[in-house]
Amino acid sequence: MADERNREIVDRWLINKATEQLSSDQQDLGALYERACRYVNIGELENAIGDLNTAVQLIDVEKEQEPKVLFLAMRAETQELLGDRESAVNDYTEIISLGDPEAGVFFRRAYCYRELGAYQDALIDLDVYLDKEPSDAIAFYNRGLVYLALDEITEALRDFDETVRLDAKLDDARRNRGVCQYQLGNYSAAIKDLEVIIKTHPDDLIALYFRGVSYARTGELQRAADDFTQAINLGDQTYNLLIERGTVFRALGETSKSLADIEAAVALDPDESIGYMQRAEVYLALGATANAVDDYSECLLLDPENVDALISRVGVYFELGLFKEAISDFDNVVRIDSERGLVYSMRALAYSELRQFDEAIADFGKAIALIPDDYKPVYERGNLYAELGEHNSAIADFTESLNRTQDMTTQASILLDRGRSYSKLDMSNNTSDVHYLALEDFREALRLDGPPDTLHLSDLEIPALLLAMSEPPPGSITSWFKGKLNRLMGK
């Protein structure tokens, strides 16, 4: 403290000496520079700017370029201390225009550009600087921050990598590298970097948060909860942190803790939609479907374009049998994003429940066109056709859906349904062919998946299913079918 006081005494004495000099020669650049430096030392920045302005004006009159760079540089640095970065940029730009600037001028202007949010300009200057100074870790770090602000995460990661390579002690660079790894989905790499930070800085809230969310994404839920709790205990009871811990508690089955965290988050920021979305999920886990619907609705009031909330509310409406409401939500989803094939498929199911079959078939058609490799829309349309008694159309859809899946259990289900439709076809002139086709489908279904634990088959299907359990002998399929039935009935 005494040393600081002594330095201030010296600075003020030198200010007085420079002032005496200027009283006899107002154009003494040396005295103006000296007094400006001493004003900066004692924090009287506005006085320093006044002297520097006077010096620059004098130099402009005399056309002396060499001292002008010195005064412009000092004025720019003083303006930065005052927070006037626009004026600092102007001075750095003038220095550059005078020709042959030092590399550091580009670095300082880049810093000002970054603080002003002029990120592309900052990148240009940092590129120039790093061409001249390729081993400057701080410059790579600053460029990484610019890329991070531009959401160019891969480029930011590259620069933070280089920063750590050049100077492994720069913890801020390592922390930001961990954050980038998280944002790119490289959770294990993120955890590795953030562990280094937390080991030396156990109260680093950013590192705790991002290690926590990285643990959560890798399924290490208890570790995630521990990191979030440590951050909260350190006083970081923020909205995002409470939401994340609440989500982890729900995944751990600790629904009461989850609800408490998410309610605390909603209380912190009742105008943020995600809290209502997450609380609705907790209510569903607790079986409080009415509360879940209310929260999804509140979320949608705040964020009407939230497709996830619309689809989640639809799921509850389906569970409650509220198909008209479900269709209304599907209509909104389609309005927002008309390319979601599964939405058309789900809306078709809702139309089916309301017996609006034409609309259902039309929606299935849209779903099939949008997701041509998915078996489900074709299969569901086939089931609808079967329900309507249009078995030829049903069989065509079942056949197509078989071509779209390689899963044997799924294929078995489709074969059973196609067998049902074959058994119900009105083909009086070739009844034996119909029986044979049904029989073949049932037999193949059993081969793929074994006898199902629970089957609800019509009277026509039961004998075909039983017959499918043995190989038919040569000869007439009809006579064999009748003989088998007689034996089954004990005749």
Per-residue pLDDT tens over the stretch 41-82 = 999 999 989 988 988 888 875 566 678 889 999 999 999 999
What confidence category does residue 138 fall into, taking pLDDT thresholds of 50, 70 and 90?
very high
**Cα separation, 481 vs 20, whole angstroms:** 124
Residue 8 has a pLDDT of 87
State pTM to two decimals: 0.75
Question: What ranges do the domains of the chain cover?
Answer: 373-491
Q: What is the mean pLDDT of the chain?
A: 88
Per-residue pLDDT tens over the stretch 344-401 = 999 999 999 999 999 999 999 999 999 999 999 999 999 999 999 999 999 999 999 9
DSSP state of 489: T
Residue 61 has a pLDDT of 59
pLDDT value at 115 more than 90: yes
The CA distances from residue 469 to 244, 453, 463, in Å, are 53, 15, 10
Averaged pLDDT, 120-135: 97
Averaged pLDDT, 182-205: 97
**Cα separation, 344 vs 405, whole angstroms:** 20
* Exposed/middle/buried for residue 252 (C-beta within 10 Å: 0-12, 13-18, 19+): middle
Residue 420 has a pLDDT of 86
Highest mean pLDDT among 3-12, 421-430, 449-458: 3-12
* CA max distance for the chain: 136
Over the range 397-409, which residues count as b (16 or more CB within 10 Å of their CB) and which as e? bbebbbebbeeee
Averaged pLDDT, 449-459: 52
Residue 448 has a pLDDT of 79
Q: Which of 91, 120, 117 is nearest to 108 (CA)?
A: 91
pLDDT value at 485 more than 80: no
Per-residue pLDDT tens over the stretch 199-232 = 999 999 999 999 999 999 999 999 999 999 999 9
Q: Which CATH class is domain 373-491?
A: mainly alpha
Residue 28 has a pLDDT of 86
